[in-house]
């Protein structure tokens, strides 16, 4: 099944999605890697993450006279976020985007929070950057450009494959 979702997730039911389905996202996604996840837990998120899509990515950004320009954005290995993801999911995001699998603590948190984990294809950073319409804001630049939390306005961001659904099914089993 292929489905287009608007983020932040409001009325769409993620329970209807199954591992193996393909989704495209329109709205805003937030990038967060290891250090941003750790800081979210320690200090709280700088933006409302209720219903959010969080992308495990370290984008390549070019600063210019108009602000920031997205050069490339691809997924980073999600298993590095295993120690933090369950706690972050309990704070309200509904979609986690990354690469590779995540552990059973994350699977349990996805089920508990009616959320999903979707995978982006590695090596497609140029494809994904075309779906980024605007960099709306950035927080935590003190962590470095790849570790900062970027708020991106996207249209038809994907294809993304549901790897772990909100019912506990996983493509990694």
Please give the positions annotated as active site. 37
- Degrees to nearest 5, angle at CA 127 with 30 and 76: 50
Query: Cα separation of 126 and 133, whole Å?
Result: 13
Tokens representing residue 156 in the block: 């038809």
Helix ranges restricted to H, the chain: 34-43, 82-89, 104-113, 125-129
Which one, of 33, 43, 48, lies nearest residue 80 by Cα?
A: 33
């Amino acid at each position: 099944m292929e489905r287009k979702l608007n983020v932040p997730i409001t009325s769409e039911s993620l329970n209807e999605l199954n591992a193996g389905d393909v989704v495209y996202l329109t709205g805003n996604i937030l990038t967060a890697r290891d250090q941003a996840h750790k800081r979210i837990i320690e200090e709280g998120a700088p933006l409302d993450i209720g219903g959010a899509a969080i992308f495990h990515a370290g984008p390549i950004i070019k600063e210019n006279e108009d602000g920031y320009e997205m050069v490339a954005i691809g997924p980073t290995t999600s298993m590095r976020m295993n120690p933090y993801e369950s706690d972050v999911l309990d704070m309200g995001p509904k979609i986690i985007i990354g690469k590779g699998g995540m552990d059973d603590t994350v699977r349990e948190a996805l089920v508990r929070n009616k959320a999903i984990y979707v995978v982006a294809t590695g090596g497609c950073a140029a494809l994904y950057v075309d779906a980024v319409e605007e960099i709306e804001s950035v927080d935590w630049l003190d962590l470095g450009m790849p570790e900062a939390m970027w708020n991106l306005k996207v249209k038809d961001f994907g294809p993304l494959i549901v790897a772990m659904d909100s019912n506990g099914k996983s493509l990694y089993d």
